Amino acid sequence: MRNLRRLDPTEADTLKAICDWLDVQQRQGKLLYIRHNPPMMTSKRVDGKTKVIFKKVRESQLGAPDLMVFKRNQYPRLADWENKGVVTDVLCIEVKSPTGKMSAYQDCWCGMAIDQGMRHIIARSLEEVIKALG
């Protein structure tokens, strides 16, 4: 049951708001995004005991961001002219609660993404994502 007295959004609340906004943007053809889904955890009762079960379709990369957004860059660089000016801006988004911190694996993944020319942000609100994509 949710605590109705809670004022600060949880990480899940923020992630849902961001995904809802990105869904609208994607339907309008402004961007393309993917949601990194970590392994799902479920539980069931067996012989009076609760068993936790992890459902994995495929091992996910440790530290991968929650969201990756692909957007056409409206200001192509001259070096990319042979690609007919189509340059894709990639924004990796790690969603955190107001007090959440990145793990060592997330820090490492962030560094590798930046080394590949991607942008990476820690989003604590929808407004931060809108600003980064603006």
**pTM (2 decimals)?**
0.75
Q: Domains of the chain (ranges plus CATH)?
A: 11-133 (3.40.1350.10)
Give the tokens for residue 89. 């801006």
- Rounded-to-integer distance, Cα 11 and Cα 32, Å: 22
pLDDT at 111 > cutoff 90: yes
* Letter string b/e over residues 1-31, b meaning 16 or more CB atoms within 10 A of that residue's CB: eeeeeeeebebeebbebbeeebeebeeeeeb
- Rounded-to-integer distance, Cα 22 and Cα 130, Å: 9
pLDDT at 115 > cutoff 80: yes
Give the start-end residues of each E strand in the chain. 32-35, 40-46, 49-55, 67-72, 88-95, 119-123
What does the DSSP 8-state code read for residue 103?
A: -
Q: How would you class 71 by CB atoms within 10 Å of its CB: exposed for 0-12, middle for 13-18, buried for 19 or more? A: middle
Label residue 40 by pLDDT band (50, 70, 90): low
- Which tens digit of pLDDT belongs to each residue from 54-78? 665 566 788 999 999 999 876 555 5
How many CB atoms within 10 Å of residue 92?
22
Q: Is the dihedral of CA 11, 14, 17, 23 positive or negative?
A: negative
More confident residue, 82 or 89: 89
